[in-house]
Structure 1
Amino acid sequence: MEIYAMPGHLIRRLNQISVACFMDRMAQAGLSLTPVQYAALCAIRDYPGIDQATVAGLVAYDRATLGKVIDRLQNRDLIQRDVSASDRRARVLTLTTAGQDLLRTASAHVQAAQPDILAGLSEAEQAQMLHLLQKATNAGNDRSRAPQITPEAD
């Protein structure tokens, strides 16, 4: 079929493979975590006190959907929401001890899953593929419904 040579179809399939690898690793480890939850936890870990809208931008997810992800993480006591000291209307996010522990445990499994996603490629091809994926993603970022933001340098 002609779609087998189209980048959109192949990227969608690779995403399905990536999610399957992630979820398999989490299941094997006995962890309940989705790729989006993992990404949100990483953003909150790296930027403690970040607001929800900025998390959405950092992980390139629409705000409404990410809001539901944040709700689930809070319900599981993995993150804490507090009123911002600088803007009483805003809520800032931090990891709880349970969130830090889960992220630390999950990160090793996530790292171990990465080669599985590009199985069949040599190490050099995997590095080239990653470089090209980053280049294409950066070039098309503004076309996304949820463009990724780049954190400001400290």
Structure 2
Amino acid sequence: MSEPDQRLFFLLQRAAHLLRTTADRRCLAAAGVTTAQLGALFAVRDQPGLTQQQLARTLGLRESAVTALVGRLTTADLISKHPHAREHRAVVLELTGDGAAALRAAQPEIDRFNAELRALLGDDRFTQTAAALHALAHWEP
């Protein structure tokens, strides 16, 4: 029996691509939004008063990418933008009713996807994998 592949970066990229494309397809079918859009919607919902700059930091994206993402979400009426009370150049993002509805529509698919991953990995490995990925996502080399 051969050793399992130890090229962690390659395996993470390959797994991330498969997970993202599968989750995107399912979330688009269930709620009409991609996982990137869902990430932004969850952040806006969970952090009232979030600015676009803060959203970029939360998502780990460049501000230019978040500007485009916010533009698409605003055009789709999933979030709204309001002037910041103290920072004249900043805008505050707010979830709209349609944005909240998209999150509700996507939640059963997110739960189903996580249940499939838990079944694939087993409870212990699912929890360990989540903890390991959390550590990697917050690693500061």
Change (3 A) 1:98 1:28: closer
**Deviation for aligned residue 1:99:** 0.8
Instruction: Kindly state the Cα deviation for residue 102 of structure 1 after the two structures are TM-superposed.
Output: 0.9
Aligned to 1:78: 78
3-state DSSP of counterpart to 2:82: strand
Q: How does 1:103-142 map to 2 (within 5 A)?
A: 103-117=103-117, 120-138=120-138, 140=139, 142=140
Shift of 1:45: 0.4
Deviation string 1:36-71 (CA, Å, 9 cap, x unpaired) is 110110110011221001011112112111110100
Please give the alpha-carbon distance, in whole angstroms, between the structure 2 residues aligned to 1:122 and 1:84: 45
Q: Which amino acid aligns with 1:49?
A: G
Following superposition, the deviation at residue 117 of structure 1 comes to 4.3
**Structure 2: tracts of 5 or more residues without a match:** none
The alignment yields a C-alpha RMSD, in angstroms, of 1.7
CA distance 1:102–1:127, change in 2 (3 Å)? same
Q: TM-score, normalised by structure 1?
A: 0.80
SS in 2 for 1:40: helix
Change (3 A) 1:33 1:27: closer
CA separation of 1:118 and 1:11: change in aligned 2, threshold 3 A = farther
Q: Which has the higher contact order (CA 8 A, sep 6+)?
A: 1
Percent identity, please: 26
Cα displacement (A) at 1:118: 6.0
In the other structure, the counterpart of 1:25 is: 26
User: What stretches of structure 1 of length at least 5 have no aligned partner?
Assistant: 144-154
The 10-residue stretch of structure 1 (105-114 or 8-17) with the greater mean CA deviation from structure 2:
105-114
Q: How many residues matched?
A: 137
Using structure 2 for the length normalisation, give the TM-score.
Answer: 0.87
